[in-house]
Structure 1
């Protein structure tokens, strides 16, 4: 069981955070994890396809249930594709938190809620130096990372939290 990647999409459908984890086995047959890539594949086709799948499934699931007669709202929480399970949480502000894991991991809604409520809000929203909107503007320099979460505390704390989970190995 393992966690492969963590994504955050904003309300404008942009991937504002992407963290991929590299898992390799060591000589002692213990799983060793090296920290992977941060924000390198935000604009890749993989991120766009992931958002497209989520958007389509959410749209289709909302059309299948009559919200007026159903006492429980229909919410997309996770789904399986091949050898991967995709866990999904959407905040009230339309931020989408996604964990891609091994198929054997069940429900990680509480982990996604923890990432949103304790790490994203603390390090990105309550930090007055961190942007709330991650739009790319024309007046910024070319070498500046824009449109992405670059908060060192957020990256470090979420890495520590995810790596401390028993399902991470």
Structure 2
């Protein structure tokens, strides 16, 4: 079992935080935010969400907010992508191996206990990331999310 990466996308479709975990070193933080892999990851999630909304058939505002969290995870032959979207359209994504089933509670913890605490409630931290160059560099957020993810039993 392994966790490969953790990403956050904002409401402007920008990757504002990307943490990749590596078995050989400490991994990277915010190095691959503007790469094609981040854009493809967002595109896949966005497309699947749109497919779900089309299949649901009802386009009212109430149903759209409930549809946003219909997509919880999907898998390929190599990995599984776990997805959580907040009411403010922040998208939290964790990529793991296929043996890990459900990480919704972990994604909720990352949003409610770490993002809200260190980014939303921090007056010195940016809340609205308007350009592709603006990223999360808050050291408290980075250190605490790293410690939390690395303390999970599924992290190897």
Query: Which structure has the highest helix share of the two?
Result: 2
Instruction: Give the alignment partner of residue 79 of structure 2, picking from 69, 80, 84.
Output: 84
In angstroms, what is the RMSD of aligned CA positions?
A: 1.6
TM-score, normalised with respect to structure 1:
0.84
* Structure 1 gap ranges (5+): 25-33, 138-145
Q: Distance in 2 between matches of 1:82 and 1:46?
A: 17
Cα deviation code 1:36-82 (max 9, x no counterpart) = 100000000000000000000000011112348xx9x5410000022
Select which of 133, 137, 142 maps to 1:150.
137
Question: Residues 125-144 of structure 1 correspond to what in structure 2 (within 5 A)?
Answer: 125-136=120-131
Larger Rg: 1
Q: Summarize the alignment of residues 37-52 of structure 1 with structure 2, pairs less than 5 Å apart.
A: 37-52=28-43
Specify the alignment match of 1:59 in structure 2. 50
Q: Distance in 2 between matches of 1:136 and 1:79?
A: 29
CA shift, 1:23, in A, is 1.5
Q: Could you tell me how far apart the structure 2 residues matched to 1:136 and 1:54 are?
A: 20
CA shift at 1:18, angstroms? 0.2
Q: Secondary structure at the match of 1:23?
A: coil
Q: TM-score, normalised by structure 2?
A: 0.91
